[in-house]
Amino acid sequence: MSGARRRVRTQVGIVGAGPAGLVLANVLLAAGIDTHLVEGRSRAEVEQRARAGLLEHQVVEYLRAQGLADRLTAEGTRHGWCDFLCLGERLRLDYAARTGGARHWVYPQQFLVRDLIARLEEAGHPPSFARPATAVHATPDRARARVECAELTVECDYVVGCDGRHGISRAALPGGLRGELTHRYPYDWLTLLTEVDRPVEGVLYAVHEDGFAGVVPRTGGLARVYLQVPAGDEAARWPEARVRERLRSRLAGAADALPNIGRVTDSGVLRMRGAVGRHLQHGRLFLAGDAAHLLTPSGAKGMNLAVADAADLAQALVRRCRDGDAAELETYTRRRLEHAWRIQEFSDRLLRLLHLSASEVSGAPFTLRLKRERIQRLVEPGPVGAAFAQEYVGSGTAVPGPAASVSPSSVSPSSLVEAVR
């Protein structure tokens, strides 16, 4: 009967069909752990939402080990260097050479989301789309957890909230546990998705007294372009003629290395802020992805950290649900906060290199010369550049994990889980 409430009984209920929720659902199902994922938006909205586009080396290795990277590795492109433009000089960091060959994979987030949804559909567990969660009940005193949606109730042993910083999952934490540490940067980024006449060969970061500019690869005919704007500014204040004039100024000295920027297909302003929750679990509820932490786009870490959360939590949930070992689940928050703060620090450090603070603008020639020297230390041989390259591409060193395997196949991803932690 239309309008009747449907009840689903599962082991793990997941709220949110972003990279964290979709990776988690796929890995748990492959390990024999039943899941049900609910998402407030339609499938079309989820699969068309253009956001991140750079996947780190170890993250792709993890997805490959889980059988979730076939289309990514067939259609994605690899990039192993980035350029810094400062005082009209372009300096190249060949991070692939500094890390033994580790490279980024360029594969738009919406493509990965599409692939992960298709895999769930093939497994007979498609997400429930257009089902906004209205309540989450997962306190320690309950023998079961519950996710309430319009016309749907998901009863489960555990709930994982992957529905963003303002989602219902984070709101389900007790008031005293919802606190977070936040920082608002004194500028924003105008973000443009533009057509280009040839592929962007590598990321370009331009450090300029007028403000930062960046060009980042996407698919062959598209590029992501960033332009520093005042905090609180609106995209409507940046007509195309003004954008092009600022790009010409800030990218002067790199025109020969860049494709021609054509039609702008999408634009908006990214509010530059960072946030990390103090508590990422309570009772039968766990948070992952943007529900747990928020990153700026600096260094392209957000989607990668979300997948790392999913990898960690998948292993902990399998050990609890399949093997009865709750030790890793109980210490989830500690591990993820350690990792999240390391990534926040890297993102912040890169932002401070790329931007001039208000106090530095008056002494811009001196400040830019200092930044030029710092960039030189990154690109020249030596431990400073090598360490930066490792952090930037996410190559890491695989640390052998516990013996239990997340996957029922012969491939054990334990060491990869440790590497993306």
Summarize pLDDT for 222-258 with one digit per residue, the tens: 889 999 999 999 999 999 899 999 999 999 988 777 8
pLDDT at 396: 52
Domains in the chain, number: 1
At residue 395, the pLDDT reads 67
Q: What CATH number should be reported for the domain holding residue 169? A: 3.50.50.60
Q: Is residue 260 part of a domain?
A: no
pLDDT in tens, the chain (421 residues): 455 789 999 999 999 999 999 999 999 999 999 999 999 999 999 998 877 889 999 999 999 999 999 999 999 999 999 999 999 999 999 999 999 999 999 999 999 999 999 999 999 999 999 999 999 998 887 889 999 998 899 999 999 999 999 999 999 999 889 999 999 999 999 999 998 888 888 999 999 999 999 999 888 788 899 999 999 999 999 998 999 999 999 999 887 778 888 888 889 999 999 999 999 999 999 999 999 999 999 999 999 999 999 999 999 999 999 999 999 999 999 999 999 999 999 999 999 999 998 778 777 899 999 999 999 999 999 999 999 999 999 965 332 233 233 333 323 334 444 444 4
Q: How high is the pLDDT of residue 218?
A: 85
Q: Is residue 130 part of a domain?
A: yes
pTM of the predicted structure, to 2 decimals: 0.91
For the chain, what is the largest distance between any 2 Cα atoms, rounded to a whole number of angstroms? 73
* Domain assignment of residue 387, yes or no: no
In a domain, 149, yes or no: yes
CA distances from 74 to 68, 83, 91, 160, 223 (A): 12, 26, 31, 31, 20
The pLDDT of residue 421? 42
Report the candidate in 241, 136, 124, 259 with the shortest Cα–Cα distance to residue 198. 259
pLDDT (0 to 100) of residue 258: 84
For residues 57 and 301, what is the distance between their CA atoms, to the nearest angstrom? 12
Residue ranges making up the domain that contains 174: 6-79+103-181+274-358+393-420
The phi, psi pair for 287, rounded to 5°, reads: -115, 145
Q: Which residues contact 326 (CB under 8 A, 6 or more apart)?
A: 319, 320
Is 194 part of any domain?
A: no
Give a yes or no: residue 327 inside a domain: yes
Two tokens, residue 227 = 């332009």
Residue 197 lies in a domain: no
Is residue 138, in this structure, part of any structural domain at all?
yes
Q: Looking at residue 360, what is its pLDDT?
A: 81
- Residue 89's pLDDT is 94
Write down the pLDDT at residue 307: 96
